[in-house]
């Protein structure tokens, strides 16, 4: 077979090794009844443990907590309401972590549980703490087992799916590779269940996705993701310079060995400041600022900061430091940024220059509404 991912020596990883984030979904870990499939879980752990002697550091992002909690609680299917999901997660997360710890221990490997909410990768202080936790666990030879903290996460602070979580974790830990394990062996140009669809071996750019049918996959009622979320996760990771392989757990060992399996998403960008990555992919605007044409051109063409003079109207309630969407006269969001004013302050500032505001209101008002360093353009 032809190698698809060359080993990369990561100075943050062990000597001669790579730092690899592996994500596995609920449908690949659980039975249709909702319980953990121990044979699948054990097989995954065996593959990951076998990759470590070569010097690779592994971070595992594992779904399955909610699904694992269904059967013990007598639930026939995944509940729709958040409270019941959190109850299932509180039962299932312990079961999941225990099974991983036991199986990895058979290989002489210690695991550490890391439960994250969106705040942990969006707020600077939380992000630094999360990074230090990962770095210390990996430095001590442990395997971090990551999941969204479903037990306490609210709608406003959820990642929404573990594919996106895995992509953001890959960026957080400075990973060299992201492996997404699914029940479908890669991206196809049609429904793989039809028997006629062809697998897409390589994705170098958005052009390679033209005409590709990206639908949902997996048994109904178990997982929350699908091919859509996996492609989105691949966009996040490759846009930050991290290659991605999408394949099945049966080909996990080959993917880690650099063999040509599944679909390989090749890097499209370079690593960039983390706050810009999460601003684009891990937040939603708390409000909207309507801009005039001049401000739109200044932001999109010159990458300038947003000043009060270019704002026509303000929508929503938000505080200083919150993410807001910047929209053009057609109400299309063109950028997202961290605003420097509360929503109650802004209406009195609209259309006025910073120099005028400084003269009438004081020097503290001679500042940008959104600084260009805290702004990212949206596709």
274 SS3 class: helix
Query: Residue 181 — φ and ψ, nearest 5°?
Result: -100, 125
The predicted pLDDT at position 288 comes to 95
**Tokens 């958040």 belong to which residue?**
82
Is residue 267 classed exposed, middle or buried when 0-12, 13-18 and 19+ CB atoms within 10 A define those classes?
Answer: middle
The predicted pLDDT at position 8 comes to 41
Whether the CB-CB separation of 217 and 226 falls below 8 Å is answered with: yes
The predicted pLDDT at position 82 comes to 80
The DSSP bridge pattern shows strands 244-247 and 263-265 to be antiparallel
**Using CA atoms, how far apart are residues 197 and 44, in angstroms rounded to an integer?**
27
pTM for the model: 0.76
Whether the CB-CB separation of 35 and 77 falls below 8 Å is answered with: no
Distance of CA 214 to the CA centre of its chain: 18
The predicted pLDDT at position 275 comes to 67
> Which residues of the chain fall below pLDDT 50?
1-9, 11, 14-16, 153-159, 216-225
Whether the CB-CB separation of 66 and 95 falls below 8 Å is answered with: no
Distance of CA 357 to the CA centre of its chain: 40
Domains of the chain with CATH codes? 19-278 (3.40.1160.10), 284-377 (2.30.130.10)
pLDDT in tens, 205-257: 888 887 676 654 443 333 334 788 888 899 889 988 999 999 999 999 999 99
Which token pair is 354? Answer: 């910073």
**Using CA atoms, how far apart are residues 352 and 98, in angstroms rounded to an integer?**
60
The predicted pLDDT at position 341 comes to 93
Is residue 345 classed exposed, middle or buried when 0-12, 13-18 and 19+ CB atoms within 10 A define those classes?
Answer: middle
The predicted pLDDT at position 34 comes to 63
174 SS3 class: coil
30 SS3 class: strand
User: Which residues lie closer than 8 Å to 143 by C-beta, 6 or more apart?
Assistant: 48, 58, 59, 60, 104, 109, 110, 111, 112, 137
Q: Where are the beta strands (DSSP E) in 53-99?
A: 57-62
Which token pair is 133? Answer: 């936790």
């Amino acid at each position: 077979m032809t190698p698809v991912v060359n080993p990369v020596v990561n100075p943050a990883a062990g000597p001669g090794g790579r730092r690899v984030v592996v994500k596995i979904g609920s449908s690949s870990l659980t039975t249709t009844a909702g319980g953990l499939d121990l044979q699948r879980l054990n097989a995954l752990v065996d593959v990951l443990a076998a990759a470590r002697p070569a010097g690779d550091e592994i971070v595992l992002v594992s779904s399955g907590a909610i699904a694992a909690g269904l059967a013990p609680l007598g639930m026939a299917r995944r509940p729709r309401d958040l409270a019941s999901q959190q109850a299932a997660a509180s039962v299932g997360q312990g079961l999941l972590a225990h099974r991983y710890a036991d199986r990895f221990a058979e290989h002489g490997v210690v695991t550490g549980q890391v439960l994250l909410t969106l705040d942990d990768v969006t707020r600077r202080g939380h992000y630094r703490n999360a990074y230090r936790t990962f770095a210390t666990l990996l430095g001590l030879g442990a395997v971090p087992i990551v999941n969204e903290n479903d037990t306490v996460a609210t709608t406003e602070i959820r990642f929404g799916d573990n594919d996106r979580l895995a992509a953001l974790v890959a960026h957080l830990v400075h990973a060299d590779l992201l492996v997404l394990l699914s029940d479908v062996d890669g991206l196809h140009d049609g429904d793989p269940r039809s028997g006629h669809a062809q697998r897409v071996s390589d994705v170098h750019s958005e052009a390679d996705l033209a005409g590709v049918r990206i639908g949902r996959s997996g048994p109904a009622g178990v997982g929350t993701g699908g091919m859509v979320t996996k492609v989105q996760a691949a966009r996040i990771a490759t846009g930050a310079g991290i290659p991605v392989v999408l394949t099945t757990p049966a080909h996990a060992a080959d993917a880690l060995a650099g063999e040509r399996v599944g679909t390989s998403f090749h890097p499209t960008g370079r690593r960039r400041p983390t706050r810009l990555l999460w601003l684009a992919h891990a937040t939603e605007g708390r409000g909207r600022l309507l801009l005039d044409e001049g401000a739109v051109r200044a932001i999109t063409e010159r990458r300038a900061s947003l000043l009060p003079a270019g704002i026509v109207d303000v929508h929503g309630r938000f505080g200083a430091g919150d993410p807001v969407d910047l929209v053009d006269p057609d109400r299309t969001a063109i950028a997202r940024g961290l605003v420097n004013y509360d929503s109650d302050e802004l209406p009195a500032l609209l259309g006025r220059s910073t120099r005028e505001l400084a003269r009438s209101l004081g020097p503290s008002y001679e500042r940008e509404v959104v600084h260009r360093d805290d702004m990212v353009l949206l596709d």
